[in-house]
């Protein structure tokens, strides 16, 4: 009878407790190495999206300023220094007089206000030409620049609000 039970044990396949512990330890090590890589990849994607959103808004502000300086946007408030009053003006557009049979048309500089990938809102920090370059409060005179309202910092230590 002893030989029959020994034969059954040899034919049964499976893992011992030690083998299971080693396998789970290896799996835990691999997982712990993958999590930081995934987090850094998500952060890089957000940073890329932030750069694109800031570039889109700043390009729209610059186009508005250029057209206003050329007089293509009609009479504007001189106190605004030919910058938009708000980001909504860039979305809503500005009526301009067309030549010939075109009549009046509206020029839009943005289709929509981009979302900040860190705050997940369209609420951007703004600076006017009269504000201090490091100011986080908007004076309300015009929109000269925008920045993210997040308090997070990039990998190099610079706050995203300074981008």
Tell me whether residue 35 is in a domain. Answer: yes
Tell me whether residue 1 is in a domain. Answer: no
Taking the C-alpha atoms of residue 124 and residue 88, their distance in angstroms, rounded to an integer, is: 12
Return the pLDDT at 3. 55
pLDDT tens digits for 25-34?
Answer: 999 998 888 8
Tell me whether residue 103 is in a domain. Answer: yes
Q: List residues bridging with 146 in a β-sheet.
A: 126
Query: Which residue range(s) make up the domain with 81?
Result: 16-162
Return the pLDDT at 56. 96
Tell me whether residue 97 is in a domain. Answer: yes
Torsions phi, psi for 127 (to 5 deg):
-130, 140
Tell me whether residue 6 is in a domain. Answer: no
Tell me whether residue 60 is in a domain. Answer: yes
Residue stretches of the chain with pLDDT short of 50: none
For 111-130, the three-class secondary structure string (H helix, E strand, C coil) is CCCCCCCCCCCCCCEEECCC
Q: What 3-state class would DSSP assign to 21?
A: helix
CA dihedral of residues 85, 88, 91, 94 (deg, nearest 10): -40
Q: How many domains does the chain have?
A: 1
Return the pLDDT at 47. 93
Tell me whether residue 7 is in a domain. Answer: no
Return the pLDDT at 30. 87
Tell me whether residue 157 is in a domain. Answer: yes
> Could you tell me the pTM of the whole model?
0.73
pLDDT tens digits for 129-144?
Answer: 888 888 888 888 899 9
């Amino acid at each position: 009878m002893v030989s029959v039970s020994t034969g059954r044990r040899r034919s049964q396949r499976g893992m011992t407790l030690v083998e299971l512990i080693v396998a789970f330890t290896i799996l835990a090590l691999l997982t712990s190495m993958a999590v930081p890589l995934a987090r850094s990849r998500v952060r890089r994607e957000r940073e890329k999206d932030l750069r694109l959103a800031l570039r889109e808004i700043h390009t729209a502000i610059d186009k508005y300023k250029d057209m206003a300086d050329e007089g293509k946007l009609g009479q504007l408030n001189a106190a605004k220094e030919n910058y938009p009053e708000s980001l909504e003006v860039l979305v809503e557009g500005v009526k301009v007089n067309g030549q010939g049979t075109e009549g009046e048309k509206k020029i839009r500089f943005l289709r929509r206000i981009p979302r900040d990938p860190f705050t997940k809102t369209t609420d951007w920090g703004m600076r006017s030409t009269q504000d201090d370059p490091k100011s986080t409060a908007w004076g309300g005179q015009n929109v000269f620049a925008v920045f993210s309202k997040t308090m997070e910092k990039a990998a190099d230590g610079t706050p995203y609000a300074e981008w």
